[in-house]
Amino acid sequence: MTGLASRSRPEVPAPGSVGPPRRPYTLGVSTATDLDPTARARDILGVSRLTNSALTGWLHGLPGVDQVGCEARAAALSTRSIKTTSKAWAIDTAISMIDLTTLEGADTPGKVRGLATRALVPDPSDLSTPSPAAVCVYGDMVPFAREVIGDRGVNIAAVATAFPSGRASRAVKLADTRDAVENGADEIDMVIDRGAFLAGDYLSVFREIAETKEACGDARLKVIMETGELVTYDNVRRASWLSMLAGGDFIKTSTGKISPAATLPVTLVMLEAVRDWRDATGEMVGVKPAGGIRTSKDAIKFLVTVSEVAGEDWLTNEWFRFGASSLLNDLVLQRQKMTTGAYSGADYVADDAPSGY
């Protein structure tokens, strides 16, 4: 799991004059952490004061997304036939990208310890199986995960900011974030205020992300947009750019509590956003589809899309994650099949956190 804890960004082309179409700008900044986010946003937008109308003009100036064309592109990428050596590589890569997740009201220390143990040894019958990138739990469960994981390379992510609805005051959300970080979380998965976004109050969403990022300290921040509630691909694109502008290290589709969750076309739009953001600013931002990805076949479709849309720089768990729980079981099952040549079955995959119980 090398590179996971690193905050450094890879060498990328210098910021050029190429911006999102029709809103070109030139940048003098290098990374999200160098400047305070409002000053940086002013610089990127080319305005002297960051107002809601400045943000609205910028976000609404992004090129639109044609729904039919976007879904057709995702469907076309889904027809790639990934076999033999490439399938083996894709399965191991997908396992290493999982944020192994339990986010239930009924979570207990025992269940979280089990999940953490599973992350360390995903397949006791084959110790060459890579570990997931992280376990993802509620903030108060972080210490129980840490007991098991210690510093053995699997990160601990915690959801925060009044997950999953995000309906609480700013002070409560920031306290929630600080609490999770103090409990030892390496990564914070926040939710945006979808109500504010849909009401057009982009400045409020911006500030909330920026303040949460500050509260994270060294923890990496994933910004959950809950795309199932934003509904349109235009909204997904705007929310992605707003989250990146405010300093999110990752943009993430969903909480897993709302359907639809991580669809391939939504993830495609987000991958286009991070690709174009790097063209515009030189910075890389990660992408995390979460919820509803259950099979190896699905996971491979996402990896194909990452590779062909964002590019191979995103094909590591530093820049791409799957938020999932049962996906790991299917990946392990397929991995065993590729090793032994025969399908076993669910009872041959050790599962410490079976869903539905």
Q: Does 80 bind other proteins (CB under 8 A)?
A: yes
- Whether the link from the prior residue into 260 is cis, omega within 30° of 0, is yes
Q: Does 208 bind other proteins (CB under 8 A)?
A: no
Q: Which of 87, 111, 213, 252 is catalytic?
A: 252
Q: Which of 99, 123, 176, 189 is catalytic?
A: 189
Report the candidate in 20, 5, 6 with the shortest Cα–Cα distance to residue 278: 20
Q: Does 83 bind other proteins (CB under 8 A)?
A: yes
Q: Which residues contact 260 (CB under 8 A, 6 or more apart)?
A: 227, 228, 266, 292
Q: How far is the CB of 89 from other proteins (least distance, A)?
A: 7
* Residue number, 8 or 85, with CB nearest to other proteins: 85
Q: Does 86 bind other proteins (CB under 8 A)?
A: yes
H or E element in which residue 348 lies = none
Q: Which of 288, 298, 301, 330 is catalytic?
A: 288
Among 6, 8, 48, 84, which residue sits at the site for other proteins (rule: CB under 8 A)?
A: 84
Max Cα distance, the chain (Å): 64
Length of the chain: 357
Full DSSP string of 210-275:
HHHHHHHTTSEEEEE--HHHH-SHHHHHHHHHHHHHTT-SEEE---SSSSS-S-HHHHHHHHHHHH
Among 5, 12, 18, 199, which residue sits at the site for other proteins (rule: CB under 8 A)?
A: 18
Q: Does 64 bind other proteins (CB under 8 A)?
A: yes
User: Rg (Cα) of the chain, in Å, rounded?
Assistant: 20
Q: How far is the CB of 306 from other proteins (least distance, A)?
A: 8
Instruction: Report how many residues bind other proteins under the rule CB under 8 A.
Output: 31
Q: Does 87 bind other proteins (CB under 8 A)?
A: yes
Whole-number Å distance between alpha carbons of 16 and 223 = 26
* Residue number, 111 or 335, with CB nearest to other proteins: 335
Q: Does 13 bind other proteins (CB under 8 A)?
A: no
Q: Does 137 bind other proteins (CB under 8 A)?
A: no
Whole-number Å distance between alpha carbons of 23 and 20 = 6
Q: Please give the DSSP secondary-structure letter assigned to residue 131.
A: P
Q: Helix 264-281 crosses helix 233-245 at what angle (to 10 degrees)?
A: 40
* Residue number, 73 or 178, with CB nearest to other proteins: 73
Q: Does 78 bind other proteins (CB under 8 A)?
A: no
Q: Which residues contact 104 (CB under 8 A, 6 or more apart)?
A: none
* Residue number, 8 or 79, with CB nearest to other proteins: 79
Q: Does 85 bind other proteins (CB under 8 A)?
A: yes
252 is known as an active-site residue: yes
Q: Does 126 bind other proteins (CB under 8 A)?
A: no
330 is known as an active-site residue: no
Pinpoint the alpha helices (H) of 46-126: 52-60, 67-77, 84-96, 109-120
Structure tokens at 237: 């694109």
337 is known as an active-site residue: no
Query: Scanning residues 262 to 301, which ones bind other proteins (CB under 8 A)?
Result: 272
Q: Does 185 bind other proteins (CB under 8 A)?
A: no
Query: Scanning residues 156 to 175, which ones bind other proteins (CB under 8 A)?
Result: none
Query: Scanning residues 296 to 335, which ones bind other proteins (CB under 8 A)?
Result: 303-304, 307-308, 312, 315
Structure tokens at 65: 């997304």
Question: Which residues are the active-site residues?
Answer: 189, 252, 288
Residues that bind other proteins in the complex, under the rule CB under 8 A: 18, 21-22, 63-66, 68-70, 72-73, 79-87, 89-90, 93, 272, 303-304, 307-308, 312, 315
